[in-house]
Amino acid sequence: MSPLVRPADMLDMAVVALLIYALLVWFKKTRTAFVVQGLLVIIGVYVMARVMEMYMTTLIFKGFFAIFIIAVVVIFQEELRSIFERIAVWSIARPRQQAAPQEPDILARALSDLARDKVGALIVMRGRDPLDRHLEGGWDLHGELSEALIESIFDSHSLGHDGAMIIEDGRVTKFGVHLPLSKDFSKITHMGLRHTAALGLCERTDALCLAVSQERGVISVGRRAQLTTIDNLQDLHRILKEFLMEIAPRTPRQGFLAFLTHNTREKAVALVVSALLWWLFIGNSLRP
């Protein structure tokens, strides 16, 4: 490596690579990935213009970038807000309780009973992302999770049966709350209100949403902007266990190993782009 590259420069590239990696992973999970691709094309043209010393094109792009930054904030305002929320959660993360081993059993049995009786229900299991910004109305509860509690909340005579029930750390913290509705019309054309709300929340957070159809008695699971119909209770039980294991506290070693083994392609892209940006904008200026 060139002697011009100092340890501080390597740290500089590592920090930029980490930021690029975080953005790649985040936007990969959103519905705005195609917009990101368009923005990357524009950035690529600008970099090419600088390398080839196309002065007029470079000058036009410099004037365009002031508008470009505002456009990015407008287009990605929801995603940017969620990114800052995630950073805040990482920096002041509170210890989470280990999920009770009977939690998947309780939920699976209760949802099975509700589906059999064709009682509509909407249950949200919080992941790592905060939910308060997306919730409206409802009542605080902080009750111990049980089949009887779930079935009583979604009884047609209950005041909150049309809303959602929120589960955090194995306890029912709220019920009767309203969730944001999905705006993805390609997915919600034939959905009821509960399923549209379940999809809307899992588009904005990492929560797991469980919806029971009142008309068909079918259980659906929403996660990562996708809503999937469950065919049997074994699949539902497996999904619940996997979700609870994913959000459970990890030891530092487990977290480090997970970071190394996941999203390797995005890590490689982030490192290459960071090194290329340093060479284009910093390395060239240091040449004699």
pLDDT at 9 over 50: yes
Measured between alpha carbons, how far is 138 from 235 in angstroms, rounded to an integer? Answer: 30
The predicted pLDDT at position 130 comes to 84
Q: In the chain, helix, strand, coil percent, each to 5?
A: 55, 15, 30
Angstrom distance (rounded) from CA 178 to CA 158: 15
The pLDDT, as a whole number, for residue 267 is 78
Predicted local distance difference test score (pLDDT) of residue 223: 92
Structural domains of the chain sorted by starting position, each given as residue range(s) with its CATH number in brackets: 7-92+252-286 (no CATH), 103-247 (3.40.1700.10)
Is residue 226 classed as helix, strand or coil in its secondary structure? strand
For the record, the structure tokens of 103 come out as 């939690």
Neighbours of 138 (CB within 10 A): 19
**Higher-scoring residue by pLDDT: 95, 163:** 163
Q: What is the pTM of this model?
A: 0.67
Q: Where is 270: in which H helix or E strand?
A: helix 264-278
pLDDT-derived band of residue 115, with 50, 70 and 90 as boundaries? very high
Residues forming a β-bridge with 124: 166, 209
Q: 11-15, 83-87, 125-129, 134-138: lowest mean pLDDT where?
A: 83-87
Query: 253 pLDDT exceeds 60?
Result: no
183-209 pLDDT, tens digit per residue, is 887 888 788 899 999 999 998 888 999
Task: Look at residue 1 in the predicted model and tell me its pLDDT.
Answer: 43
Kindly state the tokens that stand for 179. Answer: 């969730």
Give the list of residues 6+ apart from residue 267 with CB closer than 8 angstroms, or none: 17, 21
Alpha helix stretches (DSSP H) within 117-164: 147-153
Q: Over 90: is that where the pLDDT of 77 sits? A: no
Give the pLDDT band of residue 28 (cuts 50, 70, 90): low
Backbone angles phi, psi at 164, to 5 degrees: -105, 150
Write the CB contacts of 14 (distance below 8 Å, at least 6 apart in sequence).
274
